[in-house]
A and B are shown apart, each in its own frame.
Chain A
Amino acid sequence: MRVISKTRKMTGFFALGAILLFSACAAQRAAVEHIARADLAIHQTQQTEAEKYAPAELHQAQEKLDAAKKAEAAGDYKESRQLSNESIINTQLAEAKVLSEKAQNNVYESRKTTETLRKETQRNRDARQAN
């Protein structure tokens, strides 16, 4: 009876340890996965002229990623995950800003072209009237 109970206790401890170990591993894996995702997101964002149109957001994303890596190394997996997510949202913002800036530049250019065109046609009209 006593032996069995001892064995049971041991098993219980092992199980508890395994669960703790497993969950710790799972948390770490999740953190690493998030870091990888954030890393990839930054690489993708760098392809989109974010350096030119949204440098602050890109920089912020990079800083958050670095912090996430540090937190993961320190074993703060939850914080690391959150930092990775914050890095990712910054890359999303950077991309949105790139598209927005480009669209607004297009509008500006188009307005200039239209203005030039209008002036030119006005000039032509004046010249014709002068004739």
Chain B
Amino acid sequence: MNATSRKRHTLHSILLMVCLSFFTCLLMITMFIGCAANNANFKMAKSQYEEAAASSEIMANSPAHMQEAKKNLDLAADKHDDTDQSHYSYLATKHVEIARAESNRKSAESALVDQRTSRNHELLSARTREADAAHKATKLANQRTQDAEDRAATSKTEADAARASASDMAARNKELRKDLTDLQSRETNRGLEITLQGTYFEVEKSDLKAGAMHNLDLVAKAMRNYPGQEAIIEGFTDNTGTDDFNQELSQQRANSVSNYLIKQGVQSSRLIAQGYGEKYPSVSNDTSSGRQQNRRVDIVLLNKGQKAQDSLRK
């Protein structure tokens, strides 16, 4: 009896233990299923945290929120209750997001500082360049002013010289004319032209008449007084006779004037004798007095500095 009772008691105990362990298993399985069901939120939070934690920038910029995220993640891992785990996972996720935002803010702030620095640098170098340019421009302007002044001075000198030479020339021509008062003379743009009428020559010959000598002496004297003065001696005829004869005659008459002047001491290099025949009549050949006027030799006392070679009639 006693033995059966003990046996039953043992059986009860075993049954109870089996039941207990069964329930424990059931509970654990339920818990496990609970965890598994909840893993979605938790897993997401975990992966987000790990992704952020891999960034050294976020870890450095927002350590406090990353720490909070980790704490909440650990809490979530410990919770078996579905809503609790979700709750702490949610908080962990949000802390990670805050850490990201904070990190972005700090990066932007430091980028801003960099940019301001580079902008200041840019401004500074722009100002330096501007200052340099202004300096250069000033120098250039000064140089230009100097050049202009130099030019003005030069042109003033030139103008003065021109004025001086003009007045000099006028004075000289006046002198010449005074010397040559007896001669028929006129000022042209080539210089002072003296006309020796045909009456100074033997008819149809190139020999000078005695009366001409006196006037040519005046010319020779004037030319001796003005060394460097060059002259052109131009011979002309009327339109009677052949061209060849007229050309020849005009040339010979010019030559004889030239030769006379040379004889009077004028260097031959200062003289050019040129016959033009019946060309360049000074008046019409229709009347005998006109023809007489056209038979002539012109002595052109050239303006100072003009060369006889360059001043021939074209």
Contact = CB atoms under 8 A, between A and B. Distances in A.
Contacts of B95: 89
A100 B112 contact: no
B130 interface: yes
B126 A121 contact: yes
B129 interface: yes
Contact of A125 (B102, B111, B118, B129): B129
Interface residues of B, number: 27
A62 to B, nearest CB: 15
Interface in B97-126: 97-98, 101-102, 104-105, 108-109, 111-112, 115-116, 118-119, 122-123, 126
Given A100-B105, A114-B122, A118-B122, A86 B91 contact: yes
A96 interface: yes
A89 B108 CA distance: 23
Given A82-B83, A89-B94, A117-B123, A96 B102 contact: yes
A92 B108 CA distance: 19
Nearest to B106: A103
B87 interface: yes
A119 to B, nearest CB: 11
A23 interface: no
A128 interface: yes
A41 to B, nearest CB: 13
B115 A107 contact: yes
Interface in A87-112: 89-90, 92-93, 96-97, 99-100, 103-104, 106-107, 110-111
Contact of A85 (B91, B98, B115, B126): B91
B276 interface: no
A28 B49 CA distance: 33
Interface in A27-57: none
A124 interface: yes
A120 to B, nearest CB: 8
A121 B122 CA distance: 9
Contacts of A86: 87, 90-91, 94
A113 interface: yes
Interface string B78-95: 000001100100110011
A79 interface: yes
Given A114-B119, A124-B126, A100 B108 contact: yes
Interface of B: 83-84, 87, 90-91, 94-95, 97-98, 101-102, 104-105, 108-109, 111-112, 115-116, 118-119, 122-123, 126, 129-130, 133
Given A103-B104, A128-B133, 12 more contacts: A86-B87, A89-B90, A92-B98, A96-B105, A104-B108, A107-B111, A107-B112, A107-B115, A117-B123, A121-B122, A121-B129, A124-B130
Nearest 5 CB-CB pairs, A to B? A103-B108, A96-B101, A100-B105, A121-B126, A89-B94
